[in-house]
Structure 1
Amino acid sequence: MTALKIPTHQLSRFQSLIALFILCLVLSILSDRFLTTANAWNVMRQVSVNICLSVGMTLVILTAGIDLSVGSILALCGAVTASLLKNGLAFESLNLFVGFAPLGAVMVGLALGVGLGWFNGWTITRFSVPPFVATLAMLTIARGLTMLWTGGFPINGLGEQFAFLGTGWFLGIPMPVWITAVIVAWAVVLTNKTRFGRYVYAIGGNERAARLSGIAISKVKMSVYALAGGLAAVGGILVTSRLDSAQPNAGISYELDAIAAVVIGGTSLSGGKGSILGAVLGGVIIGVLNNGLVLLNVSPFWQQVVKGLVILLAVMIDKANTRK
């Protein structure tokens, strides 16, 4: 009688699902509050922001890049959106005041995120700055601009219409989940069904071969970083809306959660390999882990230790799979 053998490469395709199942099983045993409807929706709302960041991070990492600035861009775009919505823009020299409706403020926040992301891509492609260095600089710049814009104080009282984006429900499902689902569906089509998606994978797989094939490397990379910045702005708007407040220190360490989600979801840090749905699954794992640690009353300091170990383990698995 022969034992059933499952090929290693097939098992590796489901390792994220297996990890999520085991994590949920353990947490349901340790906490009777984990498997409740209220907690499930709470997790989904929290996960929505990280998935927005993770989708953009996946596109960047597929080109063998990295973006450390998404957390700071999230904070700056959220603060600018909140400020325009509440205070508008005053041009004293022209004796002019411009007020903003929720849609207008949101559009400005999104445009700002796209612009900052595009600037990341421009510095990387135009001056051959390593992505790690360029986005680390943007992390500091955007965080400083957030403090300058807000004066270090939160911006509160943004109105019910704006709050609906982060706290409202539609057809029995929270609005952040709807927004994230639309983004994920768009990103799946972009990466799997378009020429741009094929270019992204080609650049990450072998940039020199992609260049010799006639692919405009610089344009694709700038577009990828612009999309990552725009999705970080979406995350910032959702966070600001849910809290009804723009916090100057919002988004700190969010880039680490996004990178962890992408790697856990099977995207290679070397580029050219991975998927949007894998990043979504990785984001859910990170969200469930964060939620479980809170429910178990684990110290915030130990939470950082656990998350760091998870990131390290995910990178080690990625490198092992790459060698194979």
Structure 2
Amino acid sequence: MSTRGTAARVAIDEVTSLQERTFLQRVFQSQPFWVTVALVVICLVMSWLQPDAFPTTDNFFNVTRNFAFIGIMALGMTCVILTGGIDLSVGSIMGFVGVLIGLVLQASAIPIPIPTSGTGLVAWGAILVATALAVLVFRLALGSSAALWAGLAALFSAYVAAALAVQPEHVAWLVLPPGSIWIVATLVGLVAGAVLGAINGVLIAHLGLPAFVVTLGMLAAARSLAIVLSQNKMIYDFGPDANTFYWIGGGQVLGIANPVWVLVALTALFGFVFNFTSWGRWLYAIGGNENAARLTGVPVERTKFQAYVVSGLMTAIATVLSVSWAGSALNAMGQGWELRVIAATVIGGANLMGGEGGAYGAFIGAALIEVIRNSLLMAGVDANWQGTFVGIFIVLAVLLQKVRGRARD
């Protein structure tokens, strides 16, 4: 009896100590706080060492704009990592989406296989058969929700493949009026990113395949499609809507680049979702203990699937802004960015095992990586050393998580 009483008192004391932690104690124990401190220290040191270059308005503009793209992608990656997953395909999805946007802007039209010709009929037959098979298989195996997304993914993939395979004389071009071209191109890019994320999500959440393997396969496939679509050429002629499209990522409001405003708005949105919605709590629950979450009624498969869709969509948003800012689209866009995105997420406090992370962490992690990169360049350090420093910070971030975990225990 005394043993049970002692155990009960220990358990009560543990809960009480957790509840009695003050706001400041919670802040000091959070990794994003210490990342923020490190960021401020680096900025102060660089301002002292490089007073004529680092603390300037132009440098602030460039640094904030540059980390905005990584930060937006890191928000989507946070959703995936919270569930205990990983998305290695974000860099290649960026390349594919960028090329697709560039092609639509350049052509100012959408290709449609002509159904009246024999080749066109075959193309449309293949599109419909692929879509029907995807819907049928996933409907029988996983239900109507998975079938809907699988059908959309198959429709999009088959349409792209058919449009590429059909000879030019068997394709009609739906010419878009000026003023709508950039809208259609942006929507095509966003849909493409979401669909590729949905393919990852279906295979991981509904078929139970390992996230590492699936997203690694998507990394190779999406990059290959980007090369095929672009014919290994740069796309820079954005047609009559070029100036309007350039403003999306290249413009500024109140002296701050547009991508930064998008990042700030999305960070606030994701912060609200993670902390005040059921979906956000489900992400944490799945990452904490997937089996327990399923037993408590959390829709595990659906939530994990949606996390990968969000990751693909955030990558597409970052791609639209990046292509707009750069004024060109390359199939090599985003190459190696998956490491930087994962690094920003982990440095910001996300646990690769799942169940821990947040929107502000993704924001501040991306900011720290870019400030380090900028500082190294100003210090005259060879750019090839940047990867080394990013790797060191990833290891340090994981080590800090381990230390914090032991302190809590």
Q: Normalization by structure 1: what TM-score? A: 0.93
Q: Relative to 1, partners in 2 of residues 1:184 and 1:160: Cα closer, same or farther, differing over 3 Å? A: same
Give the one of 362, 373, 380 matched to 1:279. Answer: 362
Q: 8 Å contact 1:269–1:318 — kept in the other structure?
A: no
The runs of 5 or more residues in structure 1 that have no matched partner are 1-6
Give the one of 305, 308, 322 matched to 1:222. Answer: 305
1:234 counterpart residue number? 317
Matched, 1:83 2:159: no
Q: 8 Å contact 1:263–1:318 — kept in the other structure?
A: no
* SS across alignment from 1:96: strand
Matched, 1:41 2:46: no
Instruction: Report deviation, 1:48.
Output: 0.8
Q: 8 Å contact 1:85–1:99 — kept in the other structure?
A: no
Matched, 1:114 2:203: no
Instruction: Report deviation, 1:302.
Output: 1.4
C-alpha distance in structure 1 between counterparts of 2:112 and 2:351, whole Å = 48
Instruction: Report deviation, 1:318.
Output: 2.1
2:225 counterpart residue number? 145
CA-to-partner distance for each residue in 1:167-189, whole Å, 9 max, x for gaps?
11224332111222222122112
Aligned residues: 318
Q: 8 Å contact 2:286–2:355 — kept in the other structure?
A: yes
Give the one of 49, 52, 61 matched to 1:30. Answer: 49
Where do residues 161-310 of structure 1 align in structure 2 (5 Å cutoff)?
161-310=244-393
2:70 counterpart residue number? 50
2:185 counterpart residue number? 105
C-alpha distance in structure 2 between counterparts of 1:117 and 1:319, whole Å = 30
Q: 8 Å contact 1:121–1:221 — kept in the other structure?
A: yes
Q: Which amino acid aligns with 2:36?
A: L
Q: Which amino acid aligns with 1:11?
A: F
Matched, 1:67 2:87: yes
Q: 8 Å contact 1:202–1:210 — kept in the other structure?
A: yes
* SS across alignment from 1:89: strand
C-alpha distance in structure 2 between counterparts of 1:82 and 1:109, whole Å = 9
Q: Which amino acid aligns with 2:199?
A: F
Give the one of 142, 157, 168 matched to 2:237. Answer: 157
C-alpha distance in structure 1 between counterparts of 2:253 and 2:228, whole Å = 36
Q: 8 Å contact 1:60–1:67 — kept in the other structure?
A: yes
Matched, 1:12 2:88: no
Q: 8 Å contact 2:78–2:359 — kept in the other structure?
A: yes
Q: 8 Å contact 2:98–2:331 — kept in the other structure?
A: no
Q: Which moved more, 1:103-112 or 1:7-16?
A: 7-16
The runs of 5 or more residues in structure 2 that have no matched partner are 1-23, 116-170
1:3 counterpart residue number? none
Q: 8 Å contact 2:235–2:329 — kept in the other structure?
A: yes
Q: Normalization by structure 2: what TM-score? A: 0.74
Percent identity of equivalent pairs: 37
Q: 8 Å contact 1:84–1:99 — kept in the other structure?
A: no
* SS across alignment from 1:245: coil
Q: Which amino acid aligns with 2:227?
A: M
Q: 8 Å contact 1:167–1:174 — kept in the other structure?
A: yes
C-alpha distance in structure 2 between counterparts of 1:149 and 1:269, whole Å = 34
C-alpha distance in structure 2 between counterparts of 1:99 and 1:315, whole Å = 52
Q: Which moved more, 1:313-322 or 1:138-147?
A: 313-322
